[in-house]
Chains A and B, each alone.
Chain A
Amino acid sequence: MLAVPSRSAWRLLPLSLIVASSLYAAGFWILSPRSLPTAEDTRAAGEHIRSNFAAGDAIAVRPWWAARLRETVGDLPWIPVRDLAAEDLSRYARLWVWVHAGYEAELGGPFASGTYTLEERREFGRGTLLRFRLPPPARILYDFRARLQEARVRMFSGGAPLACPRWEQDRFICTNRDWNYVGRMIVELGDDPREVIWAHPADSGPIEVEYPSVPHGALLRVHTGFTPPAARARDGAPVTLEVEIDGRPSARIVQENRTGFFPADVELAPFGSGPHRVVFRVSTPHAGMRHFCFTAEVRQ
């Protein structure tokens, strides 16, 4: 039979709560640092990655914010995203993941289901280094961002084309306005940094990025998105990305005013064997704060 606590027992309750919360809190500060990998642990893990790194490999960390590993291997391909399980890793053959204690459970989805096969597990002090074998990687035949310099860029003003021939470092400069260029950028889309082509449309007319000789493949994968500041603009207009292949319209993607990195696929089979002339045309009814970005690749 349950006994009803006496009145004096109830009086002890607040004090017990205070003592319990104090003990928990003190324990937290004493114990929690002991679960963290040391700088030396992280460096050793990085050196192991470097000495075993192969083409087609990439690196990620859990928790997403951990950065110290980049002191050792920050120059190697990196997947700096928050939701690793949802990320498209089809470019890569293997993935190294440096995991702090308590964060391995975050690796759900294909990591947990076995789609990504765990090949190596190695403890470095209080951190764990995992290496996953990914499904056979997609063959990228043409990366439009990497080959941007091969493109012809022009913008339209009053219907008349205006070439943007000046290439500076990583971009084609169209006008003196500091946003008016087409260039390789890393920007925040959604919550993550993305390697994209910056193509801020103008009010005067569309911007065209033309690639004269693109090899044929099975699929053209396009990603589009707005940066968070652009998506916060209350009157932000949608931006339309039209894709033209060999003079024929092949896709019309309307990017609504929200941030993210949104994929779209175009089948290339109907366009013959190539090489193709591919034009990306970016336009909007109102160009204010249209920090629009896209990226594209031809896959086999």
Chain B
Amino acid sequence: MNFLRRHTDGVIAALLAAGTFLAVFFHSGGMGITRDESFYFDAAESHAGWFRTLLRAPREALQEGTIDRYYEINHEHPVLVKNLMALAHLAFGPAGRSQSSGEYVRAMRLPTHLNAALLAALVFLFGTSVAGRRAGLLAALLFVLVPRHFYHLHLACFDMPITTAWLAVVMAYRKADGSLRWSILTGLLFGLALSVKHNAFFIPLVLGLHWLIVKRREFSFGKAGLAFPRIPLAFFAMLLLGPLVLWLHWPWLWHHTFERVGFWLGFHLHHINYYWEFFGRLLTDPPFPWGYAFAVTAVTVPLPTLVLMALGLFAALRDRLGPPLARLLQRLRLWRRPAAASPDGVDLARERDDWLLILNGLFPIVLISLPSVPIFGGVKHWLSAMPFLCVLAARYLDGAVARLGGAIAPAARRWIFAGSAALVLLPSLLGLARVGTYGTSFYNELAGGVPGAADLGMQRQYWSNNVTGVLPWLNENLPRGARLYLHEVTGEAFRFYQRDGWLRADVRMAWGPEDADFCAYQYHREFVDAEYRIWNQTGTRRILHGLYLDEVPVILVYDCRRQGAGAIRP
């Protein structure tokens, strides 16, 4: 009991982690393979070959030719996650290329499922350290239960791992003030973040901004020249250890380092924009509307969570910007009331945390809102903001209950907090149950759910993994050896579906409706022509089967064998 009492936070974090892992692991069975995952699976299998060589012939493994053979594939991303997938594949995946019943994808996703567990625990621990245990617990649950987050937690992609890494760096930085150990850890974690995804390049920018803001009183310019506060050790550690860890983890960088780093950065600096349906408009060319990321967040985060996030963010901004603004207005003689707090009276720890939450909660969203930043996807690009916004949300609810005053007994306030927290989480759970494994189709109550989003003209889905909704029907109804066109599904994913037993092995892949006996079309505003090609070819709009979410068509199956070209009009 003493152990539990002494390590309550650790125990709660472990329980949260275990619960999240189990939820994601068992729910993953119905989650289709996204386009990006299919490329990463291929890459991880290739990297696994390098690990085999490393065990068998270490000297050979270090040679340029060998490294290139195994790491040339998908070299536009660092390999930390893919290396972990490779190791999981070696340890738990089906042997060779044999057929399996789900083991292949399960093994490939195992590292990101463990990441999901870690992330839930970290959000709790961070929330606890910033706002107290119950706020930490609520923050973790708010984060995990947002249906879009829950969806991304399943995937063998980099978006949730970079969210974890970003949060971990910030947590270490928070503790690094004057501590060599934590500073070194910050540097190492930053290196790991760089090894997950290039988003990590922006972490120093946010932390630098944070340092400038919280240390602003220590800057001065006088007769003695410019005086500025001590630069945190953590920044030097990030500068030195970050690139080193990145280089060490990625064998492809061991030769032609600068040239290859140049390629990697260049790829992302010149990334194309993907087409995106946004309030009835098909966005095709930059600049995208500046409010894009904010608006998409507003219609994809469950309403109560969104309201709490907004209240928490505004409260923190009011606390931080209110007093200086009042002082400024006072100086300009536009405000008569005395400013709320003098610099001496500021709770520095609270101020430091407030700015950490505000900057990290806003920066990823503001960044993607800049007109010059390419947009190639949905909420996944600013997920790293969400743990911070969830902590702000949970802290706000905690504060709102505390502000009810001393007239209510502390025990009663605890119950009020628990009750309102449960009420806030309920719509997330209901939304999650409603949308199931089709996470990219989730829209909140403000949008009117999936049907409301279809009315508004929002992106109905992306990444192609919703196709699992029609695979059982196809397995049951397709004639032997049928040629099947799975619109938007990559050739690799088609292969993996067959390998893992999701799709019958005798079914042959077709690259377009023209070569297919059966077609499964995914509704995308930018690809509607794919469906019209089917109509054109078959002469009918008749659907054999479909995946409908609240009656909104998501995947439509057509018999593409009928040749009645142009015969639609009577």
Binding site for B on A (CB under 8 A): 8, 11-12, 14-15, 17-19, 21-26, 28-30, 32-33, 36-37, 39, 55, 63, 65-68, 70-71, 73-75, 77-78, 80, 100, 143, 145-146, 148, 169-170, 183-188, 193, 195, 227-228, 232
Q: Is the CB of A100 within 8 A of B427?
A: no
Q: Report B-chain residues with C-beta under 8 Å of the C-beta of A22.
A: 303-304, 420, 423-424, 426-427
Q: Is the CB of A80 within 8 A of B434?
A: no
Q: Report A-chain residues with C-beta under 8 Å of the C-beta of B304.
A: 18, 21-22, 25
Q: A25-B427, A28-B427, A70-B541 are in contact. Are A17 and B551 (CB under 8 A)?
A: no
Query: What are the interface flags for B519-552 relative to A under an 8 Å C-beta threshold, 1 for contact and 0 otherwise?
Result: 0000100001100100110001111111010111
Measured CB to CB, the closest approach of chain A to B190, in angstroms, equals: 36
Q: Is the CB of A186 within 8 A of B532?
A: yes
Q: Report B-chain residues with C-beta under 8 Å of the C-beta of A71.
A: 542-546
| B284 in the interface (beta carbon within 8 A) | yes
Q: Is the CB of B423 within 8 A of A29?
A: no
Q: Is the CB of A24 within 8 A of B445?
A: yes
Given contacts A36-B551, A67-B553, 8 further A-B contacts (CB under 8 A): A8-B407, A24-B445, A36-B550, A67-B546, A68-B546, A71-B545, A75-B541, A232-B285
Q: Report B-chain residues with C-beta under 8 Å of the C-beta of A55.
A: 570
Q: Report A-chain residues with C-beta under 8 Å of the C-beta of B451.
A: 32, 36, 63
Q: Report B-chain residues with C-beta under 8 Å of the C-beta of A75.
A: 540-542
Measured CB to CB, the closest approach of chain B to A1, in angstroms, equals: 26
Q: Is the CB of B553 within 8 A of A187?
A: no
Q: A23-B423, A26-B423, A32-B449 are in contact. Are A184 and B536 (CB under 8 A)?
A: yes
Q: Which of B39-67 contact A (CB under 8 A)?
A: none
Measured CB to CB, the closest approach of chain B to A173, in angstroms, equals: 14
> Closest residue to A198 on the B side, CB-wise?
B536
- One of B114-122, B265-273, B398-406 contacting the partner: B398-406
Q: Report A-chain residues with C-beta under 8 Å of the C-beta of B454.
A: 63, 65
5 contacts between A and B (CB under 8 A): A19-B423, A25-B427, A32-B451, A33-B550, A66-B551
Q: Report A-chain residues with C-beta under 8 Å of the C-beta of B397.
A: 18
Total A-B Cβ pairs within 8 A:
156
Q: Report A-chain residues with C-beta under 8 Å of the C-beta of B548.
A: 39, 67-68
Docked Cα-Cα span, A146 to B568, in Å, equals 10
Q: Report A-chain residues with C-beta under 8 Å of the C-beta of B566.
A: 145-146, 148, 170, 183-185, 195
Docked Cα-Cα span, A71 to B555, in Å, equals 13
Docked Cα-Cα span, A4 to B467, in Å, equals 57
Measured CB to CB, the closest approach of chain B to A216, in angstroms, equals: 22
| B323 in the interface (beta carbon within 8 A) | no
Docked Cα-Cα span, A153 to B430, in Å, equals 59
Q: Is the CB of B449 within 8 A of A28?
A: yes
| B501 in the interface (beta carbon within 8 A) | no
Interface size bracket, B side: 35 or more
Q: Is the CB of B541 within 8 A of A74?
A: yes
Q: Is the CB of A193 within 8 A of B546?
A: no
Q: Is the CB of B400 within 8 A of A232?
A: no
Q: Which of B375-399 contact A (CB under 8 A)?
A: 396-397
Q: Is the CB of A187 within 8 A of B426?
A: no
Q: A14-B400, A22-B304 are in contact. Are A146 and B285 (CB under 8 A)?
A: no
> Closest residue to B536 on the A side, CB-wise?
A186
Docked Cα-Cα span, A251 to B188, in Å, equals 73
Docked Cα-Cα span, A33 to B566, in Å, equals 38
Q: Report B-chain residues with C-beta under 8 Å of the C-beta of A21.
A: 303-304, 307
Docked Cα-Cα span, A65 to B551, in Å, equals 9
Q: Is the CB of B569 within 8 A of A100?
A: no
> Closest residue to A77 on the B side, CB-wise?
B570
Task: Give the one of A19, A36, A74, A169 with max B CB within 10 A.
Answer: A74
Measured CB to CB, the closest approach of chain B to A265, in angstroms, equals: 20
| B506 in the interface (beta carbon within 8 A) | no
Q: Report B-chain residues with C-beta under 8 Å of the C-beta of A19.
A: 420, 423
Docked Cα-Cα span, A67 to B449, in Å, equals 17
| B214 in the interface (beta carbon within 8 A) | no
Q: A67-B543, A67-B556 are in contact. Are A195 and B569 (CB under 8 A)?
A: yes
> Closest residue to B302 on the A side, CB-wise?
A25
> Closest residue to A169 on the B side, CB-wise?
B565
Q: Is the CB of A25 within 8 A of B546?
A: no
Docked Cα-Cα span, A163 to B536, in Å, equals 25
Q: Report A-chain residues with C-beta under 8 Å of the C-beta of B523.
A: 65
Docked Cα-Cα span, A74 to B444, in Å, equals 31
